[in-house]
Amino acid sequence: MSGHSTYEPKTGLERWLDSRLPIIRFANDTIVSFPTPKNLNYWWTFGGVLSLMLGLQIVTGIILAMHYVPHVDYAFNSIQRIKRDVNYGWLVQSLHANGASMFFLAVYIHIFRNLYYGSYKAPREVLWILGCVIYLLMMATAFFGYVLPWGQMSFHGAVVITNLIGALPIVGPSITTWLWGGFAVDDPTLNRFFSLHYLLPFMIAGVVALHVWALHVPGNNNPTGVNVKSKEDTVPFHPYYTVKDGFAISVFLIMYAVFVFYLPDALGDAANYIQANPLQTPQHIVPEWYLLPFYAILRAVPNKLMGVILMFGAIATLFVLPWLDTSKVRSMRYRPTMRLYYFIFVFACLVLGWCGAHAPDDLVIPNVAGPQFLDANLNSFVWLSRIGALFYFAYFWVITPLMGLTETPLPEPESISTPVLSHPASAPAGAAASPEKRG
């Protein structure tokens, strides 16, 4: 798919520019004529959603930075001032705070779609790794951003997470002090977190550019996982996918707007409306919902260092996934057994998130005193987190490599067009979707 270019400069100015900086050609090849498999379902629209969210977060963030004061004495009140006295500040702040959640919601759907349809496999490994880098940068950005309002959760969350580095042997405490810029989370920490929170989104934008570049060399994967064989299999990106993505983005924005306008605090924690007080630790320190599964993995392990290693390992695992998967079949449509494990995996991630929101010693089933097993109650969130974490790692390191070697996949279609054309429901009207289409 690379190397195609249907762009023909029409005016003298375009020809002049095209032989010097072919930027219009680039734009044309990327978002206009780019041949895209015609069978992409709605799960594929989240790439567009994510680009929009990144843009929105950057724009709203730049406006907020004009009014925000990164100082321990003023940060909390400056956010309130934005919401009370800045024209439409309540809107910009709500868009930004809820935007972070929407951004993560979209990225999780994007990642799970990728896992289901095997998009990370050859020749898209670099594309996948760049995506993992973006995800990692997003987590760092979100963490720094959550500290900025300087509420109780901001502060104590920052204490917990920066203390994790202290678990590293020998160098840990020194690195922590260096990160803090002092001997505790304090004004220097807030200042550097603000600086980094402003920097990282532009790094994300840079990696997104590489991500899109890496997408445009092999082109999109598709729900069948079968390579594009001919021109029949594709449609130009514009207008076909601009309109389809546009529709999906608009629906996504409706959900986003429900939070921004009607539930602005639903995804946040009430404790973050209390100004940070280092001397008063909240009873339960919980991260934002999108980091809960990793928090559960961290707390599933009795040893702090091991917990940290496993938590980062959970993300590091994603980077090597293309080489853990031994199956040549991309789409889980043709891997019925693996598909089952996949859905258990999705469930395990949700369970881990649920565990992360609870104190480790809380009972999973209330009022049932489960038996003590090793160091904790079997009916506590500790053990549920351990089971979830075990499945998380087993899915990537055991199930994925073994299934590829042992399973018998269903026959794949010859090309993208074959299942479509041979399908009785797919009249030329194109209104009926194929039944297995997951949209």
Partner 1 sequence: MLRKGFAFAALGLALMAGPALAATTNEEPADVHWSFEGPFGKFDKEQLQRGYKVYREVCSACHSMNLMYFRNLGQKGGPFYDPKYPNPNNNPVVKSLAHDIQVKDIDSDTGDVISRPATPADKFPAPFANEPAARASNGGALPPDLSVMAKAREGGPAYIYSLLSGFKQAPAGLTLQAGKYYDPYFAGDLTGSWHGVAGKVPEGGAISMPPPLADGKVTFDDGKPSTVKEEAYDVSAFLAWAAEPKMEERKAFGLGAMIYLLIFSVLLYFSYKKIWKNVAH
Sign of CA dihedral 60, 66, 68, 70: positive
170: left (phi > 0), else alpha (psi -120 to 50), else beta?
A: left
Kindly tell me which of 166 and 181 has the beta carbon lying closer to partner 1.
166
Residue type, 271: A
- How far is 96 from 63, CA to CA, in rounded Å? 10
SS3 call for 102: helix
Residues 6+ apart with CB under 8 A from 8: none
- How far is 349 from 371, CA to CA, in rounded Å? 25
In whole angstroms, the minimum distance from the beta carbon of 302 to partner 1 comes to 5
Kindly tell me which of 264 and 404 has the beta carbon lying closer to partner 1.
264
Return the H-helix or E-strand segment holding 372: strand 372-373
Kindly tell me which of 181 and 246 has the beta carbon lying closer to partner 1.
246
Number of helices (H), then strands (E), in the chain: 16, 4
SS3 call for 36: strand
Kindly tell me which of 254 and 365 has the beta carbon lying closer to partner 1.
254
Alpha helix segments (H runs only) across 172-270: 172-180, 187-216, 237-262
Residue type, 260: V
Kindly tell me which of 207 and 260 has the beta carbon lying closer to partner 1.
260
What residues line the site for partner 1 (CB under 8 A)?
Answer: 38-39, 77, 80-81, 83-84, 90-91, 94, 156, 159-160, 163-164, 166, 183-185, 235, 239-240, 243-244, 246-247, 250-251, 253-254, 257-258, 260-262, 264-265, 270-271, 273-274, 278, 281, 283, 285, 298-299, 301-304, 307, 359-362, 372, 375-376, 382, 417, 420-421, 426-431
In whole angstroms, the minimum distance from the beta carbon of 310 to partner 1 comes to 12
- How far is 97 from 137, CA to CA, in rounded Å? 17
Q: Is-contact 374 382, C-beta < 8 A?
A: no
Kindly tell me which of 131 and 307 has the beta carbon lying closer to partner 1.
307
Kindly tell me which of 293 and 307 has the beta carbon lying closer to partner 1.
307
In whole angstroms, the minimum distance from the beta carbon of 425 to partner 1 comes to 10
Residue whose structure tokens are 């590489």: 210
Kindly tell me which of 23 and 243 has the beta carbon lying closer to partner 1.
243
- How far is 332 from 169, CA to CA, in rounded Å? 42
In whole angstroms, the minimum distance from the beta carbon of 336 to partner 1 comes to 24
- How far is 50 from 244, CA to CA, in rounded Å? 15
In whole angstroms, the minimum distance from the beta carbon of 352 to partner 1 comes to 16
Could you give phi then psi for residue 372, rounded to 5 degrees?
-75, 130
Among 308, 286, 287, 79, smallest CA distance to 176 is for: 308
In whole angstroms, the minimum distance from the beta carbon of 165 to partner 1 comes to 10
In whole angstroms, the minimum distance from the beta carbon of 155 to partner 1 comes to 10
In whole angstroms, the minimum distance from the beta carbon of 424 to partner 1 comes to 12
Kindly tell me which of 292 and 382 has the beta carbon lying closer to partner 1.
382
Kindly tell me which of 111 and 271 has the beta carbon lying closer to partner 1.
271
In whole angstroms, the minimum distance from the beta carbon of 41 to partner 1 comes to 9
In whole angstroms, the minimum distance from the beta carbon of 417 to partner 1 comes to 8
Kindly tell me which of 235 and 399 has the beta carbon lying closer to partner 1.
235
Return the H-helix or E-strand segment holding 235: strand 234-236
In whole angstroms, the minimum distance from the beta carbon of 373 to partner 1 comes to 10
- The single-letter DSSP state of residue 377 is E
- How far is 139 from 197, CA to CA, in rounded Å? 11
Return the H-helix or E-strand segment holding 160: helix 152-165
